[in-house]
Amino acid sequence: MSGSHGIGSEGSGEQCRLLAPSLAAFVEGALPPAEMQAIAAHVAGCGWCAAEVAAYAAVTPLLREATSPTPPASLRAGLYARIAAEARRASQRHRTSKLEIVMRETDASQTSAVSAPTQPDRPPSRRRPSPAIARWGGLVAAVLVVGLLAGVLSTRLPGRNTMGQVPRPTATATVQRACAPNDIQASLPARSSLTDLAMTGPDTGWAVGSVADSDLLPTTSHTLILRLSDCQWQPISYSVPNASLESVAAVSPNEIWVVGTQGQGPLLLHYKDGVWSTAVPLIVAADLDAFLLVRAQPNGEVWIAGRTPFSLRGSSTIVLLHLADGQWTRIETPLDDVSDLAPDGPGDAWLVGTKSSSQVYEFAHVQGGALTQEIPANPGIELTKLHMLAANDGWAVGYVPVGGNDTGNNPLIMRPLVLHYDGTRWTQEPGGAMYASARGIDVFGQGMAWAYYTNGGSPEYIVSTRREVGGSWKNVAWPFNDVQSISRLTCVTSDDCWALGSYPLPDRNIGGVVVKGFGSLLLRFANGGWYEYGHVK
């Protein structure tokens, strides 16, 4: 490719000059996924750009260690004027169109790299930055000063809750290498259980759950947070005692929210740029005993479904907490249980759950800080998952009884069903034989779905999976013989998905008591096949 160079090159080429204005944003994980992947592919083979990335990466820890100065009052006007001038100059360089060219060239270079001769490894040389880098550096400096200014001012705002902040080394500056499925490793502690995951890319993501403190019940537990980085799923060192985690959501690769329960109260964890905090919005969550679900949007909005104790009102109720523009608001709902929660634009979200008075599942729609719609589903239907793609495109997955009366001799038989929202109403989608015989279904959009099938016995194991692409169903080989369930299926692309699985552990005799248990594992669909990680053989 014209202008490209490898690890041993002497300086930047045309591609480097086009990418240079985006390297600082790449370090902070602030670019769209396609741009992040294109730049990562280039940086992995370019010593000059790798050095630039390392230089930007060194800024964050230095700022964290430095004492925040108190800026003079005259700084603000001049600072914003400088930023505006730099932004005007940056806009004239048409960064977006140039990045698209680079991304296309990157794809072409990756395709041709198989037959290209490798260059000898030697340290990249440093040369004077190009004018594009120099201009971007001025804007970065201005933005860093804004960050310092914001940090100083925020520490002086009354009522700001910063308790429990624990600094951790940031991993946001590390260039993640692409991971072949067989290269990935997972380290899960003994007695661990995973409940949710949030992927920020094919090779980056988070999974949460808990680790039991004893083999025997009843027992306490402590939190478990796994991070996929550099082809390794590993527990982070940050852990909360007497607690368990239920749900995780990512705003960006460098910011996540995690919810659960600690003791008899709700637990909210926030990670941003290497720092964990345990601050809970106490005013809006004062009477809750647990946080059950969390969802986040790229604009920074966060939705949390919490639960009030049964003893408080004679029944539990579901409460929504909404974070927007730095403010938490509370929205009461008529539900006493919740299955899933899905944002649908700024200030807009759907949830599905049940009422104690009817035990009928229903959809609840929140807009502008208030409950605006309640739509009951047909009696007997159980709703478990919800995906909102747009205001007029939503998908719900659940089960419908097809036989049996739920007795030992005649157990209740449930089959998957799919509902679609067109902006006006929820209607059942015809599934034919695929839905009738499946044990589980997950839908990600029109013509995009997964289904899995079991042996129907006891114990029940998955025996096959099928994938719908463009409206056509195809078999996908299932290579495992003891996985019993697939949950939290998350597709980064249509051809790359992650999920949680469970499998039975060998019976253990502890003090004369036979203990049965289940283990958690991570599943990935990539390169047309399934892979598993963390399975204890």
pLDDT digits (tens, 9 = 90+) for 143-166: 333 333 333 333 333 333 333 343
Which one has a higher pLDDT value, 467 or 108? Answer: 467
pLDDT digits 0-9 by tens, 10-24: 344 556 666 677 777
Per-residue model confidence as pLDDT tens digits over 378-417: 888 999 999 999 999 999 999 988 777 767 677 777 889 9
Q: Quickly state the pLDDT bin for 456 (edges 50, 70, 90).
A: confident
- Of residues 385 and 437, more confidence is placed in 385
* pLDDT at site 433: 66
Among residues 173, 194, 180, 187, the alpha carbon closest in space to that of 231 is found at 180
pLDDT bin (cut points 50, 70, 90) of residue 481 is very high
510: confidence class by pLDDT, cuts 50, 70, 90: confident
pLDDT at position 180:
92
Find which of 107-111, 125-129, 288-292 is predicted with most confidence, using mean pLDDT. Answer: 288-292
Compute CA distances 297 → 206, 255, 347, whole Å: 16, 11, 11
Instruction: Give the pLDDT of residue 262.
Output: 93
Distance CA 49, CA 57 (A): 12
**What residues does 117 pair with on adjacent strands?**
none
Largest CA-CA distance found in the chain, in angstroms, rounded: 81
The mean pLDDT of 220-237, rounded to a whole number, is 95
pLDDT for residue 369: 86
258, pLDDT greater than 60: yes
pLDDT of residue 409: 73
pLDDT (0 to 100) of residue 313: 58
For every residue of 352-404, DSSP letters joined together read EEE-TTT--EEEEEEETTEEEEEEEPPTT-EEEEEEEEETTEEEEEEEEEEE-
401 or 235, greater pLDDT: 235
Do 31 and 21 meet the contact criterion of CB atoms below 8 Å apart?
no
Find the range with the poorest average confidence among 129-143, 315-329, 350-364, 422-436: 129-143
Task: Look up the pTM and report it.
Answer: 0.67
Instruction: Name the burial class of residue 444, with classes exposed (0-12), middle (13-18) and buried (19+) by CB atoms within 10 angstroms of its CB.
Output: middle
User: What's the average model confidence in pLDDT over 56-72?
Assistant: 54
pLDDT score recorded for residue 351: 95
Residue 418 scores a pLDDT above 90:
yes
The bridge status of strand 518-526 relative to strand 529-533 is antiparallel
Give 65-106 pLDDT, tens digit per residue: 555 455 554 444 455 455 555 544 544 444 333 434 333 444
Which segment of 2-11, 174-183, 226-235, 516-525 scores lowest on mean pLDDT?
Answer: 2-11
In this predicted structure, what is the pLDDT of residue 284? Answer: 73
Whether residue 359 contacts residue 377, with contact meaning beta carbons closer than 8 Å, is answered with no
> 258 or 127: whose pLDDT is higher?
258
Specify the amino acid at residue 229. Answer: S
Mean pLDDT lowest among 19-28, 95-104, 244-253, 277-286: 95-104
User: How high does pLDDT run on average in the chain?
Assistant: 76
| pLDDT exceeds cutoff 70 at 252 | yes
pLDDT at 283: 66
**Residue written as tokens 């630039």?**
52
For residue 73, the one-letter residue type is A
